[in-house]
Structure 1
């Protein structure tokens, strides 16, 4: 029986921290989830069931994605990249980094998988043949990436933002320092490719633009968020996740404070805030049509003392409305 409520929790969640939630392309009912329990799970969110899962050789999985060809890719702490054909449940080792694979991105336009690693490299792979295409140094550890068509953006451990054009990887298209003073946590490209949204561990989000024209650069800004006043003190939380609504170009942020906010970045407005979730938000994903938001909740060690009893790792599916996500 399918779920019809505005929000519900998925059954059979991962047994350890959730590292990534992503919808399969062009669906709002197939969700791919990676976890530190070494598994990748594929959920049918309408039926609230686990359709299939596979293990990543007992290594924590830090990111996953799915292409239109029913092929799932995942990257793990041990540096391996695995591809699984979910129709035949066949696994292949695509390649290896010398350190953890922190993030994976797929360019449907170029049919390329990009893997970013703590070994300071981005590697490119052919999504069909699974063969290697190129290896590109990023100067520092790769913490986050985003792809839109031919555009690849990389956020590194030293707060560098490196922009690449997948059509010509001989040198970066742009390099700049983050507008934010503290460690980069997540970056996502605008749906129209004019700029990107960036978050940090210090409760801030920046909106920046690629065009170097001074008039365009005047539009960039940063703002505070995911901060809570408790007992007369302001507690500042990392902003772990960003996800764009592809139709409205608004975006959601998820923080270690357990809140999800939806923002109109162009008009500098917060559109709404959902209720507080049981623990921090580790990952967010709008479905392609924008009607569903997947919310991964996990404690990621951001507090001085580990909560006791241990906080539950869980995934919420929220059916969102235009009132919550459309610019006003």
Structure 2
């Protein structure tokens, strides 16, 4: 079966899905104040963590706190707090980087991006904040590309920090996109990142100044209506395939597309989902793609029974780059 819908889904909008670094376990956070851990092979929920407020990102609660969830004991504890909602979270370890915070091994560095315009650096073993990175404005998206922390904020600012030396930003840039940043995802090799906006565009960017000539942006997730007018949708979700380095985009049009950035071509478009795509995640070996289909309030408050998490089996035709002719 090439697609399954996970049982026991969140009971409200889904904010994030993330695969574990070395298994097919999947985490899902939601506005229903829960984080759920799924065994995607067995299509079973292993744990449900009930928190005090809506969960905006995996392991982060909307009560301005960074929360550490122990998958062995099923217990949750607060690592630290911001002055406003925590929007993003990343985990940096000496052996690599993960966006998944729910992990049973000791952490080296926990990074939390907040609407209070700061990134907190935490040692979750001691619940100690070891640093604060002040950003130019409210944080909307954040990711780790190797040792580089890429932070997308309001006013189209993109600040890049080397987590090994945080005395000042490595680079201060303006987004190549004209509208508000919606998502950022790192290239598997750490050379750069892709970022998306609310206006149906994606930019492929590089960390080093020497590679800036290679950057580009393109239009996506848009269509013509019955009157021939172009309808443009936010690009809410980005995820790189760990093996091929191609990436997927998910939009409020309900479509998931995969792209070959090297050849600047779309590889595949999956059939339309019933509602917006809120989050995407490839499994560690690239064999699965988790798709969080979730209404994102584009049309105001209304019932959204179509919210669900789908697990797709990934084939080469979906993600393998085509040879240049």
TM-score by length of 2: 0.92
Corresponding position: 1:267 with 2:252: no
In the TM superposition, residue 283 of structure 1 has moved relative to its aligned partner by: 0.3
Distance across 2 between alignment mates of 1:206 and 1:84:
33
Shift of 1:294: 0.3
Equivalent residue number for residue 8 of structure 1 = 4
- Segments of structure 1 that go 5 or more residues without pairing to the other structure are 65-73
From 125, 129, 134, the equivalent of 2:131 is 134
Q: Hey, what's the Cα distance between the residues in 1 that align with 2:195 and 2:146?
A: 19
Deviations, residues 68-116 of structure 1 (Å, cap 9, x unaligned)? xxxxxx1122201111212112221111111110010111227211100
- Which residue number corresponds to residue 154 of structure 1? 151
Q: Which residue of 196, 200, 209 corresponds with 2:193?
A: 196
> What TM-score, normalized by structure 1, do the two folds share?
0.91
Q: Quick check: 1:38 aligned with 2:23?
A: no
Distance 2:192 2:69 in 1: 33
Q: How far apart in 1 are the matches of 2:213 and 2:146?
A: 26
1:219 aligned to 2:214? yes
Q: 1:102 aligns with which of 87, 104, 124?
A: 87
- Looking at structure 2, the residues matched to 199 and 311 of structure 1 have their Cα atoms a distance apart, in angstroms, of 27
Does 2:324 match 1:327?
Answer: no
Tell me the alpha carbon deviations over residues 177-197 of structure 1, each in whole angstroms, 9 at most, x when there is no partner: 000000000111211222211
**Alpha-carbon distance, 1:306 to partner:** 5.3
TM-align CA RMSD: 1.4
Q: Distance in 1 between matches of 2:134 and 2:45?
A: 37
Is 1:176 matched up with 2:173? yes
- Shift of the 325–127 alpha-carbon distance from structure 1 to 2, 3 Å rule, reads farther
Q: CA deviation at 1:217?
A: 2.3
Task: Point out where structure 2 has 5 or more consecutive residues left out of the alignment.
Answer: 96-107
- Other-structure match for 1:207: 204
1:257 maps to which residue?
Answer: 253
CA spacing shift, 1:264–1:127, aligned 2, 3 Å: farther
- Aligned with 1:117 (options 114, 117, 142): 114
Query: Matched residues in 2 for 1:251 and 1:288: separation?
Result: 14
Please point out which of 305, 312, 316 is paired with 1:318: 312
- CA distance in structure 1 between the aligned counterparts of 2:162 and 2:214, rounded to whole angstroms: 23
Tell me, what secondary structure is at the counterpart of 1:217? helix
Do the aligned partners of 1:109 and 1:150 also contact (CA within 8 Å) in 2?
A: no
Query: What residue in structure 2 maps to residue 248 of structure 1?
Result: 244
8 Å Cα contact 1:279-1:311 kept in structure 2: no
